[in-house]
Amino acid sequence: MLGTPAAPASFVRTCILAVCAIAAWCADVALAQDYPNRAVKIIVPFAAGGPADVYARFLAQRLQEALGQPFVVDDRPGGGSVVGTDAAAKSAPDGYTLLLMSNTHTVNESLMPNKPFALTRDFVPVAPINYSDLVMVVHPSVAFKAMAGVDIVHVPYRGSSGARTDIIGGQVQMMFDAVTTMSEHVKAGQVRALGTSGKTRSTVLPDVPTVAETVPGYEATIWLGIVAPKGTPPAIVTRLNAEITKIVRRPDVRRDWAAQGAVAMTMTPDEFGKYISDDIVKWERIVKISGAKPDQ
């Protein structure tokens, strides 16, 4: 009788690993198909009423409509976004806690190196949402009408909504805010705009010059996106990315956002991860050159 040669141990190990990988993939896909089966929380580490809060609520409503489960916005301001972000980082990586982030987070990677989390270590990218220009405004009582040669004292706030209230009331004299949330106050004459931060003039404030017209090469925007705790199943990340992409590609959404001064962003999770990493590097150079330090 002829015997059958025994399979090499390395081949057996390879087969076992392949079977385990296929089983894990199938479980991951099944989990995503059942996701979500309960409420999903979106932590916003900024005060209510600012751009992050506004667009988080917009997105939550439409994700709820698309996926059939509540998406609940949880505003947790404090510590320059550190309080809410740390809470998200420590949450279970099951897809039921998400973080609404902005480029405040990429700045903080070098501005606050001792914070208890790191973006690329503790989070996985899900999807970007949109970006918009900033606008520098002053209270109407402020006499100057140009930006150069001004001595400025920084006043920290827990979120832009509080600062917006105070500049309208005259408690502070100057503010940089997103065009999306400040343009209506400019048009109402409650504040006076000195400049916007994009490469070209804002479509919602076309009569306001860009900072680049005074300082060539200047450009700054505020962008928003969704990330999840590290370890969130890739299939859930992929599903969320697909649903968010569908939302921001809708013609009515793009039209409404354009009227507010916001531009929709679409990327795969990997592309968004590279975008975040590149932004961290960009702001690291700026923080180093400027010598900026966090407010105590």
User: Is residue 158 one of the residues assigned to a domain?
Assistant: yes
Same-domain check for residues 100 and 229: yes
Domain of 186: which CATH number? Answer: 3.40.190.10
Q: Give residue 33's identity as a one-letter amino acid code.
A: Q
The last residue of one of the domains, among 159, 188, 213, is 213
Tell me, yes or no, whether 83 and 184 share the same domain.
no
Query: What is the chain's mean pLDDT, rounded?
Result: 89
Task: Based on the fold, state whether residues 112 and 247 are members of the same structural domain.
Answer: yes
- Same domain flag for 82 and 158: no
Q: What is the number of domains present in the chain? A: 2
Confidence band (pLDDT; 50, 70, 90) for 172?
A: confident
Q: What is the pLDDT of residue 30?
A: 61
pLDDT at 1 over 50: no
Domain shared by 62 and 196, yes or no = no
Half-sphere exposure of 22 (CA within 13 A, CB side): 6
Q: Which residue has the higher pLDDT, 92 or 218?
A: 92
Q: Which residue has the higher pLDDT, 23 or 199?
A: 199
Grade residue 246 by pLDDT with cuts at 50, 70 and 90: very high
Q: Which of 167, 190, 213 is the last residue of a domain?
A: 213
Asked whether residue 20 is assigned to any structural domain, the reply reads no
In a domain, 110, yes or no: yes
Q: What pTM, to 2 d.p., does this model score? A: 0.83
Confidence of residue 24 (pLDDT cuts 50, 70, 90): low
Q: Please indicate, yes or no, if residue 102 is contained in any of the structural domains.
A: yes
Do 207 and 187 lie in a common domain? yes
- With respect to residue 4, please indicate whether it lies within any of the assigned structural domains: no
CATH number of 268's domain: 3.40.190.150
Q: With helix as H, strand as E and coil as C, how does the chain read? A: CCCCCCCCHHHHHHHHHHHHHHHHHHHHHHHHHCCCCCCEEEEECCCCCCHHHHHHHHHHHHHHHHHCCCEEEEECCCHHHHHHHHHHHCCCCCCCEEEEEEHHHHHHHHHCCCCCCCHHHHEEEEEEEEEEEEEEEECCCCCCCCCCCCCCCCCCCCCHHHHHHHHHHCCCCEEEEEHHHHHHHHHCCCCEEEEECCCCCCCCCCCCCEHHHCCCCCCCEEEEEEEEECCCCHHHHHHHHHHHHHHHHCHHHHHHHHHHCEEECCCCHHHHHHHHHHHHHHHHHHHHHHCCCCCC
Same-domain status, 228 and 203: no
Query: Are 45 and 147 found together in one domain?
Result: no
Q: Please tell me whether residues 112 and 246 are part of one structural domain.
A: yes
Which range is least confidently modeled, 4-8, 166-170, 180-184, 219-223? 4-8
Please indicate, yes or no, if residue 241 is contained in any of the structural domains: yes
Does the pLDDT value for residue 238 go beyond 80? yes
In this structure, are 111 and 227 located in the same domain? yes
Question: Does residue 242 fall inside a structural domain?
Answer: yes
Percent of the chain with pLDDT over 70: 84
Per-residue pLDDT of 107-143, as tens digits, reads: 999 999 999 999 999 999 999 999 999 999 999 988 7
The residue range of the domain holding 104 is: 31-131+223-290
What integer pLDDT is reported at residue 5 of this predicted model? 56
Task: State whether 114 and 143 are in the same domain.
Answer: no
On whether residue 25 sits in a domain, the answer given is no
Kindly state whether residues 84 and 152 are assigned to the same domain.
no
Q: Which of 213, 235, 257 is the last residue of a domain?
A: 213
pLDDT value at 27 more than 60: no
Residue 2 has pLDDT above 80, yes or no: no
